[in-house]
Structure 1
Amino acid sequence: VVSILKGRNAVIFRPSSRGAKCSKKAIDFMREGLKKVGAPENLVQCAEDMDIPTTNLLMQKCDLVVATGGGPMVRAAYSSGTPSYGVGVGNAVAIVAEDADIQQAASMITSSKVFDNATSCSSENSVIIHSSLYKTMIEEFKKNGGYLCTPAEREIMQQTLWVVNDKGKQTINPKVVAQHAQDVARLAGLSIPGDAKMILIEGTLPAHEDIFSQEKLCPVLTLYPYDTFDQALDMYTRITLRCGYGHSVGIHTFKSEYIERMGETLDTSRVTVRQPMAAANGGHAINRMPSTTTLGCGTWGKNSTTENIHYKHFLNITWVNEPVAPREFSEEKIWGEYWKKYGK
């Protein structure tokens, strides 16, 4: 909202039905703040109980749409005829390399995973761990409040986390979304330690065929071992091709060759190095990326940008230009090196 207002804009929020009450409460706080500084309260508005046709009409009439819902919402925004910024599906994956500081990595991943009960699109859903560290990382996760499910409990968790909706499609069970690990376990009929705040699942291979490699929107984290860095990158790519393509990848390593290779070769908008992804992906003092909760995923994720949507995206820029002394150039200066190498 600060980014929007910074560009001298007004904004109308159309929250989802499940988030309507808390969204309205947050917007009321903003309106009180505007009134306190003598600004018009209606710079920030909330459209409650708006049906889909009216929402579509609103998108057609406004100047810009920012769509942060699911795929259908983003497609509707792009189809409205109004300039739009959409976001792709989140399904953040982190890699723990053989040289990682495992205590730091486990602490960061846990803090990111449990933040806001894993509702952030940047919350790690899968962690790909070098096989030499795999068992040790599990123990570190346990020290940070993780509970490791048995194979039998994994099956129970799968039946709890995913259900078939009224359209016959398998989808996340809405009852687990944004719930604490204790509540997710209780819903599954499992008994976990009272201090557990994250549920660990050992994934099955190939990872991209394992349903637990998908976005889960609750504090359930899936773990996969790997042997070579090539395998880790291939596993990441195949997981995100199924869910979360173009969004982000994390890496816990000190090897610059790994980091550079990921930036050069992976189809991802963000490579987040040795940081908790839920905090870092959206911009933070620790990395100085633009701060946002709206993350573009580029054409990989069917979005118009790979950037963090921030204040510059809510500005129209006027270019004032005046004549200056022209640069002198010739074909020889432009093409000379090319001609020397390849001929005219």
Structure 2
Amino acid sequence: MRLIRAALAAAGAPEDLMQCLEVTGKEAGSALMGATDHVVAIGGSGTVRRAHESESNVLVHASVADRFRALCAEHGARVCDAQETERVRKVLWPDGKRLDRHLVGRTAAEIAMEAGIITRLERTMAVAARVDTCRVVVNQSTMTNTGGFSTGVPFTTVLADGSWGGCGMSGNITWSHLLNYAAVSRPIPERRSDPRPLFGRHRDPALSGDVA
């Protein structure tokens, strides 16, 4: 170590680019990894696990914390409240000391489901709402797209992908889509909406405010 630090100094580089702890032990190693920007860990599984734990946090200055949380939520992140945070903490560290190795490397959504924060149904509905697709298949073969007795999907050989794919219809095209329907219109009691709540400020200058 002394030779390496001397060589760094001779080359005009900071000697502290190379350092070594003067003490040993898990506590010292964890403290060192917790103070670094990046960790490349080698050694036993316990050392590597502690390294992963130390680099799983994002430090945000208090002055921008609210803005940071708002941007996270805006981009689809789940911002946990105090109770949810405690549930995540308990599922990750069941005994309060050791990280559950079965959750290492798992996605945020999987950990949230383990903690009971989101359900599989909520996750499925979130995916369906964000993806431009006419069908989200859950725990089934994609062959169910053409119909199945246990899927609620009508049998067909023609699949339509809606306006996302440039089609006039979406879903499974069946015989019902090939029928012609005749609408019978009879007089009914007239019911007109009051246009003032909808268009009042556009028609009456006194209600227009700052609208020209």
Normalised to the residue count of structure 2, the TM-score between the two structures is: 0.36
Higher normalized strand content (fraction of residues): 1
Larger-Rg structure = 2
Taking structure 1 as the reference length, the TM-score comes to 0.24
